[in-house]
Amino acid sequence: MQQVRKAIFPVGGLGTRFLPATKALPKEMLTVVDKPLIQYAVEEAADAGIEEFIFVTGRNKSAIEDHFDHSVELEATLAAKGKTQALDMVQQMMRNPGSVIYVRQQEPAGLGHAVWCARHLAQSEPVAVLLADDLILGTGCLGEMISAYNGGNMVAVMDVPQNETASYGIVTPGADDGRIVEVNGLVEKPSPKDAPSNIAVVGRYIIEPGVFTHLDRQEQGAGGEIQLTDSLARQIGEVPFSGLRFSGERFDCGSKIGFLQANIAFALQRDELGQHLKSWLTERVK
C-alpha cells in the first residue's frame, strides 16, 4: 500500500452564499478568529504527513497564492520592530519550496471536475482531498483517516438528522463497527425518503488513482455538476471503500450559521479569548 503524500484543495468556487464579502475575497480566505479557512485545512494536511499541496484555483484567487508565499515587506517590518512572535508565525506558514502547486479550474463544474483538473499531478498514487468549508475542531480528521487507511477509497463520515440528507452524499452501509463503516453504495443529495441511511460524507477523502479514470468521463450528476461521489460509487466492488467517523467536531463554514458557530467555538478554545467571550455570551443571551 502506497503512502498518502499528496493533497488536493479545491478552491475554485465562487462563494456566492457569502456575498458581498466574497466579491473580491476568496471564500477560503474568510477567517475563523484570526486564521483563514484554507490555512486550517493546509495545517491539518501537514500534520497528517502530507508533503505536496495541490490547489485547484479559479479566477480572483490570487490572495490564496499570496497567503502561502513570503511577504518581504511585511517580514522586514516585523523584524525591524522586533516583533519576533508575529514574524515566526508568518514564516511558519511557508511550505517547503516546490511543495505547493496551483492548477486553474477554468469553470466551476463541480467537485469531481476540480479534482480531475489535478489528475496529472496526482499520478499513480492515492491522494487526499480536503474541502476548506468543512472545518474540524479537535484531532485532525485527515490524520485519523490516514492512520486507518488500508488502500482503496476512504471518506470521512458523520451521522446527520434524516431530514438533512438532501445536503450530503449519503452512504449505503455494510459492516459497521461504530467507527469504520463499509461503503456499499453512495448517492449524492438524496431526499430523506429515498436516503439509504443517515451516514453523510464530510469534506475529507482519500482516493485511489482509478477514480480519475471514471472522472475522465465527465458525466454530470446532481445539480448538473461533475460529482466526485459518482466516480467513487462506480468503483464499489472494484476496490475497498470505507468511511471513517472522525472524533472531532465539524462545522459547515459554507453556511453563515456554521461559519458563525465555528468562530465562537474556536475562540472559546483560545486562552486569551475564551473566558472573555464566554462571559460576554452569557450576558448577551440574557
pLDDT tens-digit series, residues 94-127: 888 888 999 998 887 889 999 999 999 988 899 9
93-97, 116-120, 137-141, 188-192: least confident range: 93-97
Confidence of residue 1 (pLDDT cuts 50, 70, 90): low
CA distance 102 to 168: 27
Judged on CB neighbours under 10 Å (0-12, 13-18, 19+), 100 is: middle
pLDDT at 221 over 80: no
Q: Residue 149: its pLDDT value, please? A: 95
**β-strand partners of 181:** 176, 243
Domain 6-151+202-284 class?
Answer: alpha beta
Reported pTM: 0.92
Which candidate, 87, 95, 130, places its Cα nearest to that of 111?
Answer: 130
pLDDT tens-digit series, residues 43-77: 999 999 999 999 999 887 888 988 888 888 998 99
Which candidate, 183, 174, 176, places its Cα nearest to that of 152?
Answer: 183
pLDDT tens-digit series, residues 266-285: 999 999 999 999 999 999 98
